[in-house]
Amino acid sequence: MKRFRKHSAWLALSLASFSMILGFSSCETAGNLLSSTRFSQAAYDTDKGLKDESLALIGKAKGRTSYSSVAADVEALMQKIDSAISAEKARTKNDPTVAQWQTIKSQLSHFFDLWKTKGTLSPAFVDEGKNQVSGLFDTLIRTEEDKRATG
């Protein structure tokens, strides 16, 4: 029993040192001790689905389509993006992905604002813009794929 007490003291000391070294506070829950940035198939599917929807909508601007004819679609898309951001925020230790979604949202909003303000957009701009938005989504998708390494 004396030996057990000695080991227990050693164990407590070891755990305390370990916690300090890794920066854990005693207030952190056990759940936080384990990493949670895991790959999510649902998030991956959402990323790909919203990429396709965004590019399809941007593509409609090429034929000098007026904004008013797609306004409802734009609103629906932005709501879906807000839902995706909420879902990403619910995943712990996921700040980079949340920030990526906010970056995409900002770029898309600005694109649609331009369309709304001008009424129509230059075809060359639509081509280039579509490529740029596609690239942003590709980076988001690659970031989710990177999580497979720990998932």
Partner 1 sequence: MANFNQVFDDIKDQVGGLAEKDLKDFSSQGKEDAEAFLNQSRGKLEKWMQLLAEKKIDEDEFRWLVESQKAAAQMEALRKANAGTMQIEKFRDSVVEIVVKVAVTAAIAAI
Which one among 22, 27, 42, 90 touches partner 1, defined by CB under 8 A? 22
Half-sphere exposure of 13 toward its Cβ, with a 13 Å CA cutoff? 6
Site residue total, partner 1 (CB under 8 A)? 46
Please report, for residues 15, 54, 83, 96, the alpha-carbon distance to residue 79 in angstroms, rounded to integers and kept in the order given.
Answer: 46, 12, 6, 21
**Distance separating alpha carbons of residues 55 and 89, to the nearest angstrom:** 24
Cβ–Cβ under 8 Å, residues 93 and 36: yes
Minimum distance of partner 1 from residue 135's CB (angstroms): 6
Contact positions vs partner 1 (CB under 8 A): 3-4, 6-8, 10-11, 14-15, 18, 22, 33-35, 37, 93, 96-97, 99-100, 103-104, 106-107, 110-111, 114, 118, 121-122, 124-125, 128-129, 132-133, 135-136, 139-140, 142-143, 146-147, 149-150
